[in-house]
């Protein structure tokens, strides 16, 4: 049976993982990525449940474990840095609960996946798809820079604002629900002693925005952290700001803040490594159109703590179903969606407590949230109240697809 050419848009997590499995099954993958090079930095991401089996089958589990950030819980801190509530990583069961036992920097995982794919995966950086024309014998793809080319299949692994989805499925507004806030990440250093704890600090509404959140992810005991700044606002125009504009916006939003914020904002001024995005949730009724199919956040983005895991599992399943169908995309795409739908439904959940629980808009709301987090670990049914992530992360089994006994 013919194992043809597959163009993958996006060199994040889902794209390189899919390319690895496609190669194992005899397909020829090409990845096109808008960024000029592999993106550095990024936030710490979790690998949970069935996704750990996927990285084990890829032979990279030891490499992933070697880059584990060492985080074992979240501590909520007040304006003076005092811990007012903690949530340990053992809260929700053997596989790590809210804090996964495999937490790794996004850039480290991308590098590991790319190295696993080897030289047989072609990467085209600094380019992107500008058009798709489906035909009986393939998809004619036009690019911003490269000449047009025909591929047997096209995969959109290009995130919540997927270009492939826009070309093959239509207007983004039909599939992306705005969640009301921005999330940003950048590398920094801290003088605080974290001891493997993520620190979360909340500020009420102010400086023209709603609730504000700061989260520090430790990277071992080096003093290096990833700083996350998130804030609530209905204004969607900030995505159009350039790097300098985004830095100025964050400086304004957090002006006058205490705790570790002045030190973090000083470092923000000097970095070019800033991730800045409007947060949304993707819901698509059918993940394929003709010879194009969606994977990862392009198909089911917006979960909390499960995006990476769903991308890894989805890559394994999509490649496996294409192989099982002998390259017949109609059979394979339907089987891929059938295998993944219940798993995605179980895991595509929002923030526990919603946006008000994540970013309360008043000091009274922050106090109430912290009190609830103090008692949460001691209540019966804590796992269920926190979203049942341990059970949901294992809500799909893996077929062998002819590669494993």
Residue 95: φ, ψ to 5°? -90, 15
Amino acid 88: pLDDT: 73
Q: Encoding tokens for residue 253?
A: 């939003």
What pLDDT score was predicted for residue 379?
A: 67
Arithmetic mean of pLDDT, 193-212: 95
pLDDT of 100 above 60: no
Question: Domains in the chain, please, with CATH?
Answer: 5-45+106-175+281-350 (3.50.50.60)
Instruction: Determine what percent of the chain is predicted with pLDDT higher than 70.
Output: 93
Query: For the ranges 36-45, 160-169, 356-365, which has the lowest average pLDDT?
Result: 36-45
Cα–Cα dist 359/365, whole Å:
9
Q: What one-character DSSP code corresponds to residue 38?
A: P
Category of 398 on φ-ψ map: left (φ > 0), alpha (ψ -120 to 50) or beta: beta
What pLDDT digit, counting tens, does each position of 106-140 carry? 999 999 999 999 888 999 999 999 999 999 899 99
Q: 74 - beta bridge partners?
A: 87, 198
Three-state secondary-structure class, residue 143: strand
CA nearest to 327, candidates 30, 121, 27, 122:
27
- What are 271-307's pLDDT values in tens digits? 999 999 999 999 999 999 999 999 999 999 988 889 9
173 burial type by CB count under 10 A (0-12 exposed, 13-18 middle, 19+ buried): exposed
Strand-pair category, 83-88 with 73-77: antiparallel
pLDDT at 183: 96
- Give, to the nearest 10 degrees, the angle between helix 14-24 and helix 307-324: 30
């Amino acid at each position: 049976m013919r194992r043809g050419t597959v163009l993958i848009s996006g060199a994040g997590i889902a794209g390189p993982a899919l390319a690895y499995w496609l190669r194992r099954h005899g397909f020829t993958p090409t990845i096109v990525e808008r960024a000029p090079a592999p993106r550095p930095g990024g936030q710490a991401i979790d690998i949970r449940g069935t996704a750990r089996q996927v990285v084990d089958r890829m032979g990279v589990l030891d490499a992933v474990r070697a880059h584990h950030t060492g985080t074992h819980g979240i501590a909520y801190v007040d304006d003076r840095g005092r811990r007012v509530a903690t949530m340990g990583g053992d809260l929700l069961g053997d596989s790590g609960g809210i804090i996964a036992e495999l937490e790794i920097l996004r850039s480290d995982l991308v590098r590991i996946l790319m190295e696993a794919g080897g030289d047989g995966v072609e990467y085209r950086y600094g380019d992107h798809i500008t058009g798709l024309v489906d035909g009986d014998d393939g998809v004619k793809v036009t690019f911003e820079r490269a000449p047009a080319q025909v591929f047997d299949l096209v995969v959109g692994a290009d995130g919540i604002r997927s270009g492939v989805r826009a070309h093959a499925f239509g207007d983004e507004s039909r599939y992306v629900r705005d969640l009301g806030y921005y999330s940003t990440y950048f590398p920094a250093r801290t003088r605080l002693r974290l001891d493997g704890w993520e620190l979360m600090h909340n500020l009420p509404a102010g400086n023209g925005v709603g609730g504000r959140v700061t989260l520090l992810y430790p990277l071992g005991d080096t003093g290096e952290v990833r700083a996350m700044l998130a804030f609530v606002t209905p204004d969607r125009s900030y995505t159009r700001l350039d790097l300098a504009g985004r830095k100025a916006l964050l400086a304004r939003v957090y002006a006058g803040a205490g705790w570790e914020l002045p030190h973090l904002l000083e470092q923000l001024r000097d970095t070019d490594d800033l991730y800045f995005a409007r947060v949304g949730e993707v819901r698509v009724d059918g993940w394929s159109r003709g010879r194009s199919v969606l994977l990862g956040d392009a198909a089911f983005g917006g979960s909390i703590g499960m995006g990476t895991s769903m991308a890894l599992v989805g890559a394994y399943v999509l490649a496996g179903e294409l192989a099982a169908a002998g390259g017949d995309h109609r059979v394979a795409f339907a089987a891929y969606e059938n295998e993944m739908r219940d798993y995605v439904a179980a895991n595509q959940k929002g923030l526990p407590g919603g946006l008000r629980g994540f970013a309360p808009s008043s000091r009274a709301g922050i106090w109430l949230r912290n009190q609830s987090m103090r008692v949460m670990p001691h209540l019966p049914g804590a796992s269920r109240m926190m979203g049942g992530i341990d059970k949901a992360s294992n809500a799909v089994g893996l077929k062998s697809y002819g590669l494993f006994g």
